[in-house]
Structures are given as C-alpha cells and as structure tokens.
Structure 1
Amino acid sequence: MSKQLQVQEKNTSEGSLFLKSLSIGFVGGLFWSSIGVFLYYFNMSEVAPKSFLLRSWITESWTEHWLGHVISIILTGILSMVASTIYYGILRKTLALWTGIVYGLVLWGVIFFVLHPLFMNVPAIHQLDMNTIVSTLSLYVLYGLFIGYSISYHYSDVQSRKEVNN
C-alpha cells in the first residue's frame, strides 16, 4: 500500500471515528435526558432537563408542558455532542468502565456546582432532596458510562482493525 493511501485511510478513519463520537453524544443526550424526564414525572427527581435548559431563562407557559420537555431533550442531545467531543479528545484511548463513571461524576459536579449560577430555576444542591441527588447522580454516572465506553470501544475497534490490515 502506498504511503499516500495509508495517510488518506488514517485521516478517513479518524474522521469517521470523530463523527461516530458526535453521534454517540447526540443519541446519549437524547436517551438519558428522556430518562431524566421519566424520573421527573415519577417524582424521583425535583429537576428535569427543562429546568436547566429552558425554565432558567424562559418563563413562557409552553415550557411547562410536553413541548418544553421535547425541546429540552433535543437541546440536551446537541449539548451532549460537546461532552462527547471532550471525551473523544482527552479519554478515547482508555477502555475502562471506571473512566466513563468518573467522567459522569465530573459532569454532574460541573453542572450542579460549577455551572449552577447559570441555572436560576434549579435549587442549590443543599436544597435538593436525597432522591433528586441520588437519581441525578445515577443518571449522570450511566450517561458518562454510555459515552465513555461507547467512544473508547469504537476507538479500540478501529485501532485493532488497522493493526489487522497492516
């Protein structure tokens, strides 16, 4: 195989890996924020995705209904692409469950502690009940695990295919 073809193949596989990471982030955001809405509806959490993304800045009545949830789920999917890009850039080479779990814990801490002043509609962490804390923490851990393991597994799979082809 010529050197130019090898470089082109490497760039193509890295590009497809990055696009796959973006799609993993989008789907993960959609799925896990939908679970967040489920937790909110069944009173397992005091906060829903709309509490963060819509109700903190928009006080229109439509944000309280199903349309608010749908728009929040879609926005979470888009923002999740940023989280997956960060994971892809820093941690994609680690194929361990613990990395994704810790990533989810870090994201939870960033959202509930660091970025909390941006979300005026969400109570401070010390004002939330234990069900909300445990539910949201579990949700973020599962989200981090999904993002982390999916991206790392796909990266590892692409690398092993490259080794077989060479």
Structure 2
Amino acid sequence: MSRRKELHRKIKEEKQMSFTTKTMLIGFFGGLIWSLIGYFSYYFNFTQVGPSFVLLPWALGEWKTGHIGQVVGVGVIAICSIGVAFLYKWMLQKVNSIWPGVGFGVLIWVIVFYILNPFIPQLKPVQSYTVNTLVTTLCLFILYGLFIGYSIAYEYSEQNEARH
C-alpha cells in the first residue's frame, strides 16, 4: 500500500465530531466562559447585573442574588447558550467574518435589556444603569456573540473543506 493511501485510510479512521456536536460544545462553553467573566465583572462592581439575572423571573427567595444564585445563573446561561449557538448556526453559519458575530452579540444585548426587560421585574430600565454597567454588559455580549459566531463559521468552513 502506498504511503499516501495509508495516510488517507488513517484520516478516515479517525472519528470526527459532527458539526451538531461541535455547535453544542461551542454554545455551552461560550455561555460558560462569558457568563463567568460576567460574574467576575459583577463581583468586582464593573456591572450591576450578574449572571443570576436569568433566574430573576422564576426563582423565589433571596439566594438568587447571592453567590449561589450567580453560579446557578452561569450554569443556566451555559445551557441556554446551546440554543443560541444553534440559532446562529441556522442563520449565519456560512458568513466567515467577525461582523455577524458582533452584530449577533449586540442583538442579544438589545433583546435582553430592552425586549425582555419588562418581563423581568427586578431588572431596572436601561436608562437607570450606570455607564459602566451598560458598556461592560454590551462588551460582554459582543464578545460572546463574536465567540459563538466566529467559532461556528470556522467549523462550518472546516467541514466544507474536509468534504472537498
């Protein structure tokens, strides 16, 4: 057997993760990483909104605003982020640029702070937050969107190159 054929056979034998599995992992770790950075930002008072904001409409008790609530919020965001990654995959996977991810992050920020705000009574109106909170959360959402978007676009292009 020629060396080239042997190499080709070895490559085929290696099990590749499916694009769906990679999308799930990108979503989970994107949510985990950026919500942990969000918790860090909240802990050091860069922002008035921590990851536990996702618990505010549902969870009862004061524990949701403490350390345990923030950690549970990080987990909930990581799990919900899987759905966000699939949404990005469905909408923009073919665009291999940073800008769709940046725009996606801004869109998610607008949805959370403007559209969902009335449904989360504990969230204050956007105008009442400090400039630090607005800038920090917007930057976190932009970086989150960039992470999700560029990672998915990269994997999409890698999968297409492997097929050809």
Are the counterparts in 2 of residues 96 and 149 from structure 1 also a CA contact under 8 Å? yes
What's the CA shift string for 1:89-132, capped at 9, x where partnerless?
Answer: 01001100111101101111111111111211111111111000
Count matched residues. 151
**Which amino acid counterpart does residue 65 of structure 1 have in structure 2?**
G
User: How much has 1:58 moved relative to structure 2?
Assistant: 2.6
Is 1:130 the equivalent of 2:131? yes
- Structure 2 partner of 1:34: 36
Correspondences of 1:10-89 after superposition (within 5 Å) = 16-50=18-52, 52-89=53-90
Report the Cα distance in structure 1 between the residues aligned to 2:66 and 2:127, rounded to whole angstroms: 27
Between structure 1 and structure 2, the one with the greater Rg is: 2
Identity of aligned residues (%): 38
Q: Which residue does the alignment assign to 2:162?
A: 161
Q: Offset at 1:19?
A: 1.7
Amino acid at match of 1:100: G
Partners of 1:56 and 1:122 within 8 A in 2:
no
**Separation (CA, whole Å) in 2 of partners of 1:134 and 1:62:** 27
Structure 2: distance between partners of 1:80 and 1:45: 21
| Unaligned ranges ≥5, structure 1 | 1-12
Question: What is the match of residue 12 of structure 2?
Answer: none
Does the 8 A contact of 1:44 with 1:131 survive in 2? yes
Tell me, in whole angstroms, the C-alpha distance in 2 between the residues paired with 1:125 and 1:65: 22
Which position in structure 1 is the counterpart of 2:144? Answer: 143
SS in 1 for 2:18: helix
Structure 1, residues 47-103: CA drift from partner, whole Å, max 9, x if none?
A: 1111x2223333413223221111110100111111101000010011001111011
Report the secondary structure of 2:57's partner residue. coil
Cα distance in structure 2, aligned partners of 1:27 and 1:115: 24
Q: Give 4+ residue runs of structure 1 displaced > 3 Å after superposition.
A: none
User: Residue type matched to 2:49 in 1?
Assistant: V
| TM-score under structure 1 length normalisation | 0.85
Kindly state the Cα deviation for residue 18 of structure 1 after the two structures are TM-superposed: 1.6
Q: TM-score, normalised by structure 2?
A: 0.86
2:46 alignment partner, SS class: coil
CA distance in structure 2 between the aligned counterparts of 1:43 and 1:56, rounded to whole angstroms: 23
